[in-house]
Structure 1
């Protein structure tokens, strides 16, 4: 029996087909090969076309079949992971009304801040576990205020994964986890937030039927099945945001367990069973994939917007003639600390952990007679690792003290140099696994359709491929210097 996982990333779509019995990937594909475009019509704005996602999903599914390693008719269920917080609007005929305002768009920061003040800080933090900030609810309020004609035509709002599930099945659903990531869910009252809906003037009719994450979210339409070579009627049995899904793919489900990822953005995601919040809302709490009213499982999420995106920008500007592996090799020739070069990696929108400030990327202490592109390659990876340490210290203030962090060996964790910097900067060992988001989504589908009786069963064959432990105390002094530069920059903002 086979399972299909779809991961809707900012840069590309990744799909994997997993053998349910062996829990192993037998085919995968990514589309496009180059990074998908982000439209930025004004500074701080970021949009993508949902129809582009759908086109790329179809092409990736067909690419996964091209080597004929599987019979696509044997696929029994579909799972979807997706970039979080994006706003998709459709009319009553399920037509998309505008491009999606995606996760790193900063236009609604002040709208969210005003809502925080008017609804009340204590109410927001105790009921929503977050301030409204720059999340989906505030983005929807921006559309309501600035594009009233589009808002008036809106029948349903959804997140990116909901849109792809709709295109596959014709049905629209949501979950508590999805509502919480949009800052629509009241954790104390176990319902849509009356305060948020009343303040923004949103109707409950805008929201789809609420289902568990692991559930039947609709069945594959005949027309789509014919186009993709699949069997009509199979369920979309799982939908989750990319970070909860990344945690699932690493079997991070219980209180105290922690996952990390360093893709376009960088995330540390820890599981808690306490309805707690950061008083400054610098880290955020959402319903995890296995959250229920009876058994609270919450994901405490630290996000750094511009990790992999900074590394990609660095390659484009300084290393267009090299591969990432060659960049890492060059960076290895530079000693720890990069001869004084420091980089602050915050150039992809308002940073939540920095109180929604737009800090930008800063190169500090460049010596034109000393520093080379190899110094820049290393300083970027060190700066990103130091930003993880800065955020992890905020999580520690809030009671999250990991003794080990699990991560997929992908994206920046493919770099031994970055992994070494991450481990030594944070002081926490990292276990690396082969799983990725699309494989996790496929196994999530297996849980949702009942092939596995528990999430633990779905990952019973998972084993770490590498353990990296702290080994170089020299990172601490350099981190403290880096932190001093960041503190100065924050003061000047």
Structure 2
């Protein structure tokens, strides 16, 4: 029995076809091969076309089918992972009304701040577990205020994964996990937040039907038998934001377990059985994929917008045609600390971990007679690692003290330098696994369709490929403290 996982990323769409019995990937494909652009018509804005995601998802499925390694007709269910916090709006004919305002867009920060004050800080935090901040609800409020004609035509609002499921099935659904990441969910009442709805004067009818993460969200339409080879009527049985899904893909489901990713953005995500929240909302708490009223499972999420996107910027603009492998090899020849070069990586919108401030990227201590491309390559990876350390210290303030972190062997964790520096700077061992978001989505589909009787069964063959332990923690500590001093200087200027 085969399971299809679709991961709607910012840079590309990836799909994996997984054999349920072995939990092994039969085939995988990514589309496009180059990184997808983000539209930014004003500083701090970030949009992408939902119809582009759908076209790329279809192309990725066709590319996987073309491997000839499986019969698409044997796929029994579908799971979808997606970039979190994006706003998709459609009319009654399911036509997209505007490009999606995606996760790293900063235009709604002040709208969210006003909502935080009006609802009340303590009530927001204790019920929503977050400030409304720059999340989906505030983005919808921005559309309401600035594009009233568009807002008047909205039939339903969705997260990106809800949209892809709609295109496959014609049905529009959401989940408590999705609504919590949009800051629409009241955890104390286990229901849609009346405070948010009433403050923004939203019509409740805009919210799709709410279903559990692991449940049927519609069945594939007949037309995709010919175009994608999928059997008509197979169900979409799982939808999750990329970070809860990444945690699922790493079998991070129980209190105290922690996952990390380092792609376009960087994330550390830990599971708790308490409704915890940060008083400053620098780290955020959302319903995990297995959250239930009688068994609370929330994900405490540290998100840093500016991580891998800086590495890709350096590749495009400084690396002079080199690929990531050659960049990593050059960086490894430079000593720890990059001969004094320090880089702040925060150049991708307002950073929640920095109280929603836009700090930007800063290079410190450049010596024109000493520093080379290779020094920049290493200092970029070290700067990203230090941003993780800064955020992890905030998570520690909130009671999250990981003894080990699980990560997929992908993106920046493909760099041995980055992986070791991450472990040394945080002083936490890392277990690396082969699973990625699209594999997690496929396994989620198996859980949702009860191909697996329990989530544990979906990971019965789950083993790490590598354990990385701290080696140079003492060497990195003073370097991190210097880096942190540069960050504090920038924050004090804001």
The answer to whether the aligner puts 1:470 opposite 2:470 as a matched pair is yes
CA distance in structure 1 between the partners assigned to 2:311 and 2:456 by the alignment: 34
CA distance in structure 1 between the partners assigned to 2:7 and 2:214 by the alignment: 16
CA distance in structure 2 between the partners assigned to 1:240 and 1:332 by the alignment: 36
Partner of residue 157, structure 2: 157
The answer to whether the aligner puts 1:328 opposite 2:341 as a matched pair is no
Post-superposition shift, 1:306? Answer: 1.4
Q: Structure 2 matches for 1:336-485, cutoff 5 A?
A: 336-472=336-472, 473-485=474-486
Partner of residue 251, structure 1: 251
* Aligned alpha-carbon RMSD (Å): 0.5
Post-superposition shift, 1:78? Answer: 0.3
Partner of residue 66, structure 1: 66
Runs of 4+ in 1 over 2 A off after TM superposition: none
Q: Structure 2 matches for 1:96-107, cutoff 5 A?
A: 96-107=96-107
Partner SS for 2:463: coil
Label 1:240 to 1:87 Cα distance change in 2 as closer, same or farther (>3 A). same
Post-superposition shift, 1:225? Answer: 2.6
Q: Structure 2 matches for 1:279-298, cutoff 5 A?
A: 279-298=279-298
Partner of residue 171, structure 1: 171
Partner of residue 40, structure 2: 40
Partner SS for 2:3: strand
Partner of residue 492, structure 1: 493
CA distance in structure 1 between the partners assigned to 2:238 and 2:258 by the alignment: 21
Post-superposition shift, 1:97? Answer: 0.3
CA distance in structure 1 between the partners assigned to 2:159 and 2:14 by the alignment: 18
CA distance in structure 1 between the partners assigned to 2:65 and 2:224 by the alignment: 15
Post-superposition shift, 1:190? Answer: 1.1
Q: Which runs of 5+ in 2 are unaligned?
A: none
Cα distance per residue 1:207-233 (max 9 Å; x no partner) = 111101000000000012321011000
CA contact (8 A) 2:224 2:231 kept: no
Q: Which runs of 5+ in 1 are unaligned?
A: none
CA distance in structure 1 between the partners assigned to 2:306 and 2:159 by the alignment: 21
Partner SS for 2:14: strand
CA distance in structure 1 between the partners assigned to 2:319 and 2:276 by the alignment: 43
CA contact (8 A) 2:256 2:270 kept: yes
TM, length-normalised to structure 2: 0.99
CA distance in structure 2 between the partners assigned to 1:370 and 1:303 by the alignment: 33
Cα distance per residue 1:179-218 (max 9 Å; x no partner) = 0000000001111100100000001100111101000000
CA distance in structure 2 between the partners assigned to 1:328 and 1:93 by the alignment: 48
CA distance in structure 2 between the partners assigned to 1:323 and 1:309 by the alignment: 15
TM, length-normalised to structure 1: 1.00
Cα distance per residue 1:375-395 (max 9 Å; x no partner) = 000000000000000000000
